[in-house]
Structure 1
């Protein structure tokens, strides 16, 4: 396969990875949380959240078999209300982050995701400069930037996973049930595509190694006897 074809495939994989990561960062379905349902013919408050915003939904419960279990599913109709996390406002707490360590986890996940976006932007600039000016050596730093973006993405995923786990385990929160939703899946897909695409671009841009040692010897200029 020709080198240019390999570069185009790597760039396509990276574009899909960037779209997945951007989608995960701007959407609010990383995790869905549910409190315990105590009785029927009343409302319970389920929630879903992302890196920046928490959305709560009041769901009216009518089925007896939901008593003692989690509220939901979140797709049921109900009154919807969203509020942004006050990540960078000192002294202000969000309702969902009742425990200080949970807020720290959430802030860390959001900050790391911003580093991922920054690396994606730097990698994209390197590729654009390479395509515009024909400087193939820029593919190497581009590949490294995208690989770093992928590592930041999976780090953000793990931090948010730990945050959700602490929320469920804490006695200070009302949540008893949870599951990870499609925004979380987009972040995982973004990690895989960015990391593998970045490594692929880096390997394709490396100088081609000789197939065997004899090729190097045969290509060398003969020595002249003095």
Structure 2
């Protein structure tokens, strides 16, 4: 029951945060920049201003599909962000350029996260199976140690670690974006505040995800701890 409460609460908060984020972007997509620059133009200017000439800005399908790909060095902007000339588009475009700047400067946490991605892609195939199978064995054996459960929790720890490594990376990318927007006077005071608010709510989605994963990890660890305590009491 505790597990479902944790998952349900995390899901509920995530829905609220994502709904607010989506509504913010809808509202700020109606606030057109005084400079009339598109998301593509904003991204290209930020890259140029930082001496980055080997990263291409391209358009991709979907909504909120914006990301920086360090492998092929591309800023991938959703069609709306790529073409629009609004506070929302400038926030997203500049944020993704922040990741490109991190890559260029050799930001250590970004390098760490990039190294973790293939490991997580592989382990994600086994996490749920290992945990569910491990819990079944654990409870059916009266709380005896389950190697499979420990393996599953160990793999899930990587997910939690990845989530918390991601947090400072996202905040740093937003700070780099906002610093550039402020210093280059690309946006006015109102546009800057709206861009900042958009990025803050976007960051909240990562915070909620990380805290939700941590709560699940603590729950799984508590199962093992309770089982060990019961064994000690038995002896």
Q: TM-score, normalised by structure 2?
A: 0.45
Bigger strand fraction: 1
Bigger helix fraction: 2
Q: TM-score, normalised by structure 1?
A: 0.46
